[in-house]
């Protein structure tokens, strides 16, 4: 096999394949089912499943469900759906809780080896005796209990003889270790909590640092890829694998988390937004969750492309959200059909058309796609153009319609302004225009020079639309205001009612995305009371500075 590595993790993998250390590369994605996946997780997904795909290996989905009070099946289901949406396929669906019995047996084994003991300290006492980065910790007075006593106490912990938090099982490593994680870390705790899979069977639960390496090793994972904050846990990870005597233990490799400027990347805080009603659930289109991005209309390939462009690094950094938008825009530009929508309609009467006259113009669905089809737009005597595409008093360099001026209707004729009707405030209420015969594409008058091209919609053959415009959930952090709670953007959603769209919009299924020409990319979100709702996916303008 000859694989070109594209980052430091793949370098390691290629070496392990070449040296014959491994023949099959095995990774896993290990979410805790305590919330929905966010865009940060997509990076981990792309790394782990990307390695599976590139090196023809395997990748499991393993739920790290060792924290029963925070976890729920709702999250399990959402996580599976989100991974499928990204187009990844896991080999096995596993749960840390499936190994509770084996995990318990390994803990017994450690006790028997004399490297684990039951400690009667409570959480405060453990913290207080842990020492600091400068000072060693103090050994627990329970540290030298006999193997027999430890075995009995641990069994009794499992049997429910002791109150929650009154005893723990600790690894007996080194209270003077410069690495705090090695100072006799807790590996089992007593907790009477209902577990979403094991019910009330257990009242002792393993700690993540114990369950995680065991899960990896038992599953045959070769490379256990995690984020940088686990770097200091690696010695403990290796200690567990060694003490449990795994022959070819997994290797933990850390990479930098994905951080996006102005974007919340913590399930805990995202959950708060949901609970406080700041958003309409985990899949609110403003949420940086995978389900939110899907609801918003972000295409899965764009999210993956974003992860690829961010790359895999060993140092933490912050990515500009404009890069994600750039990827979304790039994908939609190539894949979204064009449609005409007028946000703030201004009525135009075409005086030289008959009342019931209809003229059809064929337009290409997506000029950026070679295989694109066509659809018709219908021109009638009354149409709408965008309010801002006409000016009574044009500002300098104005390129649209003015009194007595001409403009091209996108995909159709050139229109010539005749007269303006004003409302009581003196604002244009209605325009009278004439179309210029034979000025459509291919016509003898098509070459007449006009200042601009505008979108338009037939006034009686159109779709009533409501546009949901999203802005960032957070306003920019300043030195004084860094707390998320104080940075919530009160204008993160604006709903524009009364927009009009061409009939083609009624043909698409819910979820289809469009480029509303000269407006933005929008996703069709369904009809309510006869009005079609569209979510703004991303603006047309690129703010990303390559």
User: Site residues for ligand ATP, window 264-323 (CB under 6 A)?
Assistant: 265-267
32 is a site residue for Mg ion (CB under 5 A) = yes
| Cβ-based nearer residue to ligand ATP, 265 or 477 | 265
Smallest gap from Cβ 269 to ligand ATP, in A, equals: 8
Which one of ligand ATP, Mg ion, none is in contact with 145 (Cβ closer than 5 to 8 A by kind)? none
Question: What is the Cβ-side half-sphere exposure of residue 242, based on CA atoms within 13 angstroms?
Answer: 9
Smallest gap from Cβ 65 to ligand ATP, in A, equals: 10
Find the binder of ligand ATP among 83, 190, 204, 258 (CB under 6 A): 258
Which residues, 6+ apart, have CB-to-CB distance to 122 below 8 Å? 165, 166
Which one of ligand ATP, Mg ion, none is in contact with 257 (Cβ closer than 5 to 8 A by kind)? ligand ATP
What distances in angstroms separate CA 342 from CA 121, 296, 310, 465, one per listed residue?
69, 21, 36, 9
Q: How many other C-beta atoms are found inside a 10 Å radius of the C-beta of residue 96? A: 23
- Judge contact between 20 and 222, C-beta under 8 A: no
Smallest gap from Cβ 467 to ligand ATP, in A, equals: 31
User: Site residues for ligand ATP, window 24-53 (CB under 6 A)?
Assistant: 30-32, 40-41, 43-44
| 267 is annotated as an active-site residue | yes
Out of 32, 330, 382, 387, which one is annotated catalytic?
A: 32
Smallest gap from Cβ 268 to ligand ATP, in A, equals: 6
Smallest gap from Cβ 76 to Mg ion, in A, equals: 15
| Cβ-based nearer residue to Mg ion, 32 or 387 | 32
CA 465/CA 460 separation, integer angstroms = 14
CA 417/CA 435 separation, integer angstroms = 9
| Cβ-based nearer residue to Mg ion, 16 or 32 | 32
| Cβ-based nearer residue to ligand ATP, 65 or 389 | 65
- Judge contact between 118 and 153, C-beta under 8 A: yes
| 32 is annotated as an active-site residue | yes
Smallest gap from Cβ 232 to ligand ATP, in A, equals: 14
CA 57/CA 62 separation, integer angstroms = 16
Among 402, 326, 409, residue whose Cα is nearest residue 361: 409
Angle (CA) 336 337 342, round 5°: 110
Which one of ligand ATP, Mg ion, none is in contact with 263 (Cβ closer than 5 to 8 A by kind)? none
125 is a site residue for ligand ATP (CB under 6 A) = no
Out of 28, 145, 167, 267, which one is annotated catalytic?
A: 267
* Binding segment (CB under 5 A) for Mg ion, from list 29-37, 171-179, 338-346, 427-435: 29-37
Helices (H) and strands (E) in the chain, counts: 12, 29
Closest-by-Cβ residue to ligand ATP is: 40
Tokens found for residue 495: 């709903």
User: Site residues for ligand ATP, window 202-231 (CB under 6 A)?
Assistant: 226-227
| Cβ-based nearer residue to ligand ATP, 217 or 415 | 217
Count of residues in contact with ligand ATP, rule CB under 6 A:
14
- What are the φ and ψ backbone dihedral angles of 421, each rounded to 5 degrees? -100, 135
Out of 257, 261, 469, 533, which one is annotated catalytic?
A: 257
Question: What is the Cβ-side half-sphere exposure of residue 517, based on CA atoms within 13 angstroms?
Answer: 22
Q: To 10 degrees, the CA torsion angle through 238, 242, 245, 248?
A: 50
Smallest gap from Cβ 312 to ligand ATP, in A, equals: 10
500 is a site residue for ligand ATP (CB under 6 A) = no
196 is a site residue for ligand ATP (CB under 6 A) = no
3-state helix, strand, coil in the chain (%, to 5): 30, 25, 45
Tokens found for residue 15: 């070496």
Return the H-helix or E-strand segment holding 251: strand 251-255
| Cβ-based nearer residue to ligand ATP, 44 or 513 | 44
Which one of ligand ATP, Mg ion, none is in contact with 206 (Cβ closer than 5 to 8 A by kind)? none
Count of residues in contact with Mg ion, rule CB under 5 A:
1
DSSP 134: S
Tokens found for residue 14: 């290629």
CA 407/CA 414 separation, integer angstroms = 6
Q: Helix or strand or coil: residue 274?
A: helix
| Cβ-based nearer residue to Mg ion, 32 or 403 | 32
Q: Helix or strand or coil: residue 114?
A: coil
| Cβ-based nearer residue to ligand ATP, 12 or 418 | 12
DSSP 32: -
Which one of Mg ion, ligand ATP, none is in contact with 173 (Cβ closer than 5 to 8 A by kind)? none
257 is a site residue for ligand ATP (CB under 6 A) = yes
Which one of ligand ATP, Mg ion, none is in contact with 251 (Cβ closer than 5 to 8 A by kind)? none
| 309 is annotated as an active-site residue | no
Catalogue the active-site residues. 32, 257, 267
Residues at the interface with Mg ion (CB under 5 A): 32
Residues at the interface with ligand ATP (CB under 6 A): 30-32, 40-41, 43-44, 226-227, 257-258, 265-267
């Amino acid at each position: 096999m000859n694989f070109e590595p594209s980052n430091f993790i793949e370098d390691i993998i290629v070496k392990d394949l070449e040296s014959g250390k491994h023949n099959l590369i095995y990774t896993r994605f290990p979410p805790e089912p305590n919330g929905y996946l966010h865009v940060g997780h997509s990076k981990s997904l792309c790394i782990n499943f990307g390695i599976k795909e590139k090196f023809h290996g395997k990748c499991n989905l393993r739920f790290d469900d060792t924290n029963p009070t925070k976890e729920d099946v709702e999250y399990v289901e959402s996580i599976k759906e989100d991974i499928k949406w990204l187009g990844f396929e896991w080999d096995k669906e596993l749960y840390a809780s499936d190994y509770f019995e084996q995990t318990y047996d390994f803990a017994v084994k450690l006790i028997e080896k004399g490297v684990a003991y039951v400690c009667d300290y409570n959480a405060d006492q453990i913290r207080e005796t842990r020492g600091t980065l400068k000072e060693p910790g103090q050994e627990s007075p329970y540290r030298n209990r006999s193997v027999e006593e430890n075995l009995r106490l641990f069994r009794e912990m499992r049997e429910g003889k002791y109150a929650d938090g009154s005893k723990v099982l600790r690894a007996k490593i080194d209270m003077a270790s410069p690495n705090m994680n090695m100072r006799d870390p807790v590996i089992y705790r007593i907790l009477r909590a209902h577990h979403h899979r094991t019910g009330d069977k257990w009242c002792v639960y393993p700690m993540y640092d114990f369950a995680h390496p065991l899960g990896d090793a038992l599953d045959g994972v070769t490379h256990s890829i995690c984020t940088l904050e686990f770097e200091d846990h690696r010695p403990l990870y290796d200690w567990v694998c060694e003490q449990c005597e795994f022959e070819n233990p997994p290797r933990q490799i850390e990479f930098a988390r994905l951080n996006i400027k102005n974007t919340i990347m913590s399930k805990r805080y995202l959950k708060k937004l949901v609970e406080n009603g700041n958003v309409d659930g985990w899949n609110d289109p403003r949420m940086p969750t995978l389900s939110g991005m899907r609801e918003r209309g972000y295409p899965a390939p764009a999210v993956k492309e974003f992860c690829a462009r961010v790359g895999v690094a060993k140092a933490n950094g912050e990515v500009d959200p404009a890069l994600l938008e750039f990827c979304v825009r790039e994908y939609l530009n190539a894949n979204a059909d064009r449609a005409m929508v007028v946000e703030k309609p201004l009525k135009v009467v075409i005086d030289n058309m008959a009342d019931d006259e209809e003229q059809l113009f064929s337009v290409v669905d997506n000029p950026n796609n070679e295989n694109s089809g066509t659809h018709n737009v219908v021109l009638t005597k009354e149409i709408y153009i965008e309010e801002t595409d006409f000016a009574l008093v044009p500002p300098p360099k104005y390129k649209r319609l003015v009194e007595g001026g001409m403009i091209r209707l996108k995909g159709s004729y050139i229109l010539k302004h005749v007269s303006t009707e004003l409302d009581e405030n003196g604002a244009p209420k209605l325009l009278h225009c004439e179309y210029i015969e034979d000025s459509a594409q291919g016509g003898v008058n098509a070459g007449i020079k006009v200042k601009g091209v505008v979108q338009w919609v037939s006034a009686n053959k159109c779709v009533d639309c409501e546009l949901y415009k999203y802005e960032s959930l957070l306003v920019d952090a300043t030195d004084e205001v860094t707390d998320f709670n104080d940075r919530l953007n009160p204008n993160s959603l604006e709903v524009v009612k009364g927009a009009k769209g061409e009939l083609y919009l009624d043909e698409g299924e819910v979820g289809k995305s469009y480029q509303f020409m000269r407006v933005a990319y929008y996703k069709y979100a369904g009809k309510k009371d006869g009005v079609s709702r569209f979510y703004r996916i991303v603006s047309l303008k690129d703010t990303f500075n390559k």
